[in-house]
Amino acid sequence: SPPAERYEYQAEVSRLMDLIVNSLYSNKEVFLRELISNASDALDKLRFLSVTEPGLLKEAVDFDIRIQADKDNGIISITDTGIGMTRQELVDCLGTIAQSGTAKFLKALKDNKDAGGDNNLIGQFGVGFYSAFLVSDRVVVSTKSPKSDKQYVWEGEANASSYTITEETDPEKLIPRGTRLTLYLKRDDKGFAHPERIQKLVKNYSQFVSFPIYTWQEKGYTKEVEVDEEGTDEAKKDNQDENTEKKKKTKTVVERYWDWELTNETQPIWLRNPKEVTKDEYNEFYKKTFDEYLEPLASSHFTTEGEVEFRSILFVPAFAPSGKDDIINPKTKNIRLFVKRVFISDDFDGELFPRYLSFVKGVVDSNDLPLNVSREILQESRIVRIMRKRLVRKAFDMILGISMSENREDYEKFWENFGKHLKLGCIEDRENHKRLAPLLRFFSSQSEEELIGLDEYVENMKPDQKDIYYIASDSVTSAKNTPFLEKLAEKDLEVLFLVDPIDEVAIQNLKSYKEKNFVDISKEDLDLGDKNEERQKEMKQEFGQICDWIKKRLGDKVASVQISNRLSSSPCVLVSGKFGWSANMERLMKAQSM
C-alpha cells in the first residue's frame, strides 16, 4: 500500500489544540457532542448538495450516525454516512483552522446566489473536531467522499505537531460513504467507552439531532428452553419413555446479544409546524423536559425570522417553585439553549430573560450562534440581545393570553405565583412598562374580594376623574378603614389598595397608566378637583390659630398642621408630606434597615 504522508499542522492548530485540551473545555464529555454535530453537519451538507447533484447519492445507504463503544479496549467509533472528505479536504479541514469546512461551505453558498437559505447550514467557526483530543491519545479518521473513489485515513496524536494521511486499503475497513472516527481513549478517560455512558451522553446533548443516532447496545430477550430433569438413572429414563409430557421441563433464560439501538428523537417538537402539534404533546414535552408533574398554564411555540432566526417553545409553569429564592436568583435552569438542535446550555444568568421573567421555562434553538458559545459570547452577542428582546415579547404575549382567558382562575393562579415577579419587572424594566402594567392586579375600595386590573379601574373611572387613586397599607382591612378614604368614598371614587410591600414601589415606577397619573391619597396635596377658595379662606380664619397651637405643642414630631378638606367624619388625619415617604414606605424602610 502507498506510504503514509506526514503533514505539519498549521501553527494555529497546534496552539488551538493546546488551548482546548488545557483550558477551553472544563467539561470533557462535550467531545461527543462536537463530533456528533460534525457528523450531523456532514449529513446536512450531503442532503443539501444532493438536491442539485443526485449522483452524490449513488451509494444506497441511509443517512444516520452510529456510535460503537468498546469498553474493554477503551475505543469509541463514530460513523456517519455524510459528505465525507477527499484527501485535500482532510488537509484543509483537519490540519488548518482558517479553512474550516463549514466556513468554506458557507462561502460557497453565498457565492452561489440561487442556493438561498438552508438555515441549518449556517454554521459558525468552532473548535469542534479537536475536542476529540480532550479524551483521546490517538484519533483516526477514515473517510470516503462521494466525489472521490478512494477512502483516506487521517491519523493524529495528542500533543503532536504533525499528522499522517494514508489511503485505506484494508477491505474490512472500507465504507460506502461518509466518515468513521475512531478514538483511542487516554488511560484515565476509558470510562467514556461504556455503551451506557455513550447512550446517556447522546440523550443529554444530542437528543434532538435531526438524523437518527444509533448506539451499539447489549440487549436481551427471554426464551423458554427445555431442560433435562436432574439425574439420568435407568429408572427415570424408563419413566420418561412411558410418559414424555410429564418429564419434559422448561426454564426461562435470557439470551444476550448486541444490536444497534436508536438513541435520539429525530424530530424535536419545536421543529414541527405548530399547527400540527397537539396540546397534549406540548404538555408531555414540558413534563419530560423539565421534570414537572403538573401541566403548564400556557405555552407559546414560535419561529422568528429576519435579522436573527430561532425557534422556541416557552411555557408558564403552574406553580412557582417553593422557596422565595428564585426571584432573586435568576439561575433557574429554566431555558434550554440549543444550537442547530444540539444542546448547549441551561446555565444562564439573565442573558436570555431578565431575572423577573426567570420563571418562564422553555427551549430556544438558534442556527446563528456558534456551538462553542460561552458565557462571554452570550453576554456580548448582538444576536443574543435580539433574541432576548423577542423572547421577552413572546413571554408577555403568553401571559397576556392567560389574563384574557375565559377561565378567570388561570390568571388568578398565575398572579398568585408570579405576581411578585411582574411587580419587580415594573421596577427593573422601564422599557416594558407598557406590557407590564395591564398585567398587574390589585384589590380596591370597590373590589375587596376580587383582584382587578388597571383596565378595569380605568373603565370604572368617573367622567371627570383624572387620576388613579391608591393607598398603600399592610392589609385590605386597614386600607379600607383609613380616614384618607372618607372623602373619596363619599364621591364614589375607587381607590386601589396596595397591600403587598412591593406594590407601592412598582406603582411609583410606572408613574402613570393610559396617561392617568397614580396618586397616593395619603399625600398632603391630594386634589379631588373640588377646591373652594372662598370656603378655604373662611376655614383658615376660623381654625388658623388652633393649627398654630397644635404645631407648637407637637413641635418636631410633625412638619406642619393644616386645615384639611378631605375628611368627612374623622376629626384629623396624619398625612405624609408631598415629597416625603408614605407611611407604608417608612414602614418598609424601617423593616429593611433592621
Report the binding-site residues for ATP: 34, 38, 80, 85, 100-101, 124-129, 179, 375
Q: Quick check: 296 binds ligand ADP (CB under 6 A)?
A: no
Residue type, 482: T
Our CB check for ligand ADP shows the closer of 84 and 453 to be 84
* Contact flag: residue 84 with Mg ion (CB under 5 A): no
Q: Take residue 371 and report the three cell numbers written for it.
A: 456551538
Q: Which residue, 102 or 522, has its beta carbon nearer to ligand ADP?
A: 102
125 binds, among ligand ADP, Mg ion, none (CB under 5 to 8 A by kind): ligand ADP
Burial class (CB in 10 A: 0-12, 13-18, 19+), 151: buried
Angstrom distances, CA of residue 429 to CA of 103, 377, 507, 516, 520: 39, 23, 13, 20, 22
Cell of 59: 451509494
Q: CA–CA separation, 546 vs 396, rounded Å?
A: 55
For residues 301 and 282, is the Cβ–Cβ distance under 8 A? yes
Residue span 118-157 as binding mask against Mg ion, x where in contact by CB under 5 A, dash where not? --------x-x-----------------------------
Q: Which does 93 bind (CB under 5 to 8 A by kind): Mg ion, ligand ADP, none?
A: ligand ADP
Using the structure block, give the residue that is written with the C-alpha cell 475512531: 182
DSSP per position, 391-437: HHHHHHHHHHHHHT-S-HHHHHHHHHHHHHHHHHHHHH-GGGHHHHG
7 binds, among ligand ADP, Mg ion, none (CB under 5 to 8 A by kind): none
CA atoms of 139 and 518, how far apart (whole Å): 69
- Give whole-number Cα distances, 305 to 116, 117, 119, 283, 468, in Å: 15, 12, 11, 25, 40
Among positions 30, 32, 39, 316, the unique one binding ligand ADP when judged by CB under 6 A: 39
Partner from Mg ion, ligand ADP, none binding residue 179, C-beta < 5-8 Å depending on class? ligand ADP
Q: Out of 7, 125, 260, 302, point to the residue binding ligand ADP (CB under 6 A).
A: 125
Out of Mg ion, ligand ADP, none, what residue 168 binds, judged by CB under 5 to 8 A for its kind, is none
Residues 6 or more apart from 260 whose CB is under 8 A from it?
66, 214, 215, 216, 217
Interacting residues with ligand ADP between 59 and 118 (CB under 6 A):
80, 82-85, 93-94, 100-102
Contact 318, 296 (CB under 8 A): yes
Q: Is 38 in the site for Mg ion (CB under 5 A)?
A: yes
Question: How many residues of this chain bind ligand ADP (CB under 6 A)?
Answer: 22
For residue 82, the minimal CB distance to ligand ADP (Å) is 5
Cα–Cα distance measured from residue 290 to residue 285, given in angstroms and rounded to the nearest whole number: 8
Chain positions 497 to 556 lying near Mg ion, rule: CB under 5 A, are none
Question: Which residues does the annotation place in the binding site?
Answer: 34, 38, 80, 85, 100-101, 124-129, 179, 375
CA–CA distance from 126 to each of 371, 373, 381, 448, 592 (Å)?
Answer: 6, 9, 16, 59, 49
Nearer to ligand ADP, 21 or 489 (CB): 21
Contact partner, 123, from ligand ADP, Mg ion, none, Cβ < 5-8 Å per class: ligand ADP
488 binds, among Mg ion, ligand ADP, none (CB under 5 to 8 A by kind): none
Instruction: Choose which of 126, 146, 268, 317 interacts with ligand ADP (CB under 6 A).
Output: 126
The binder of 85, among ligand ADP, Mg ion, none, by C-beta within 5 to 8 A per type, is ligand ADP
The DSSP secondary structure of 190-209, one letter per residue, reads: GGGG-HHHHHHHHHHHSTT-
Q: How far is the CB of 86 from Mg ion (least distance, A)?
A: 18
Q: What's the alpha-carbon Rg for the chain, to the nearest Å?
A: 36
CA–CA dist 6, 161 (Å, integer): 10
Residues in a beta bridge with 260: 216
Q: Which stretch binds Mg ion (CB under 5 A): 37-45, 82-90, 156-164, 432-440?
A: 37-45
Stretch that binds ligand ADP, among 3-11, 36-44, 253-261, 545-553 (CB under 6 A): 36-44
Q: Which residues bind Mg ion (CB under 5 A)?
A: 38, 126, 128
Binding site for ligand ADP (CB under 6 A): 34, 38-39, 41-42, 80, 82-85, 93-94, 100-102, 123, 125-129, 179
